[in-house]
């Protein structure tokens, strides 16, 4: 997490930072912004509230850093093939919505625009993700792996929807296994999706 630089004294404990990150994501995912408080995060992380305030000046900064550090990145990849790129993209999305930060990711989709200090950060992150995903499809078209008339938006919406729904419809007690096997599920999804498009 990119908190304020520590002053002189003992070095920062990475395990404490990890616990704070997960606690912040859990509290936000469970309670939303209305229930997100420094005291609640400190209690969930098993630390004193003063420890949080030594690192973060406000709950907005704490949540921004927790989201940056704790949410799996969904971004650009270039494996050299469209199939490889889409498998990696789908793997990232399944990992996001089936992994330990899934509730925070869903809550972010619902509430980000109304949270001061988070809205701009989230909007920039979404723009970057969408641009990277569209570049993957455009590269596939330029390499001749997809027909020139392929709809970039429809193809990406179908991939994203399939990855997200697969994660969300998996029972909670099966999501850890799904996250561990995200790559295998992503390959099945991409193979199913590309077959009618490329033939």
Model confidence at 20, in pLDDT bands (50, 70, 90)?
very high
Q: CB 193: neighbour CB atoms within 10 A?
A: 16
Domains of the chain, earliest start first? 14-69 (1.10.10.60), 72-198 (1.10.357.10)
Binned at pLDDT 50, 70 and 90, residue 7 comes out as very low
What span, in angstroms and rounded, lies between the C-alpha atoms of 177 and 191? 21
Interatomic CA distance for residues 28 and 16, integer angstroms: 18
pLDDT category at 121 given cuts 50, 70, 90 is: confident
Per-residue pLDDT at 77 = 85
What's the mean pLDDT when you consider all of the chain? 89
Instruction: Kindly state the tokens that stand for 159.
Output: 């991939």
Mean pLDDT of 28-55: 94
Q: What is the pLDDT of residues 143-184, one digit of tens each?
A: 999 999 999 999 999 999 999 999 999 998 999 999 999 999
Q: Taking 50 as the threshold, does the pLDDT of residue 94 lie above it?
A: yes
Tell me the mean pLDDT in the region 49-56: 90
29 versus 118: which is more confidently predicted? Answer: 29
Residue 57 pLDDT greater than 60, yes or no = yes
**Res 4 pLDDT > 80:** no
Q: At CB < 8 A and 24+ separation, what contacts does 95-99 make?
A: 95/179, 95/182, 96/71, 96/72, 96/167, 97/163, 97/164, 97/167, 97/168, 98/167, 98/170, 98/175, 98/176, 98/178, 98/179, 98/182, 99/72, 99/175, 99/179
pLDDT of residue 31: 96
pLDDT at res. 97: 92
* Token pair recorded at residue 65: 């850093």
Return the residue matching tokens 């993700």: 129
CA-angle at 60, arms to 97 and 75, nearest 5°:
35
pLDDT exceeds 90 at position 91:
yes
**Model pLDDT, residue 13:** 76
Given pLDDT bands bounded at 50, 70 and 90, which one contains residue 196?
Answer: confident
Higher-pLDDT residue of 37, 12: 37
């Amino acid at each position: 997490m990119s908190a304020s630089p520590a002053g002189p004294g003992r070095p920062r404990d990475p395990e404490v930072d990890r616990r704070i990150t997960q606690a912040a994501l859990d509290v936000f995912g469970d309670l939303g912004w209305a229930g997100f408080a420094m005291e609640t995060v400190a209690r969930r992380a098993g630390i004193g509230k003063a420890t949080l305030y030594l690192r973060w000046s406000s709950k907005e900064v704490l949540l921004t850093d927790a989201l940056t550090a704790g949410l799996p990145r969904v971004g650009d990849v270039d494996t050299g093939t469209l199939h490889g790129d889409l498998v990696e993209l789908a793997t990232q999305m399944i990992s996001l919505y089936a992994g330990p930060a899934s509730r925070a990711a869903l809550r972010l989709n619902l509430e980000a625009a109304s949270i001061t200090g988070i809205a701009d950060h989230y909007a920039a992150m979404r723009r970057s993700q969408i641009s990277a995903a569209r570049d993957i499809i455009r590269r596939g078209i330029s390499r001749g792996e997809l027909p020139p008339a392929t709809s970039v938006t429809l193809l990406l919406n179908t991939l994203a929807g399939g990855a997200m729904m697969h994660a969300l419809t998996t029972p909670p007690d099966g999501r850890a296994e799904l996250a561990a096997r995200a790559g295998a599920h992503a390959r099945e999804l991409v193979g199913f999706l590309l077959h009618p498009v490329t033939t």
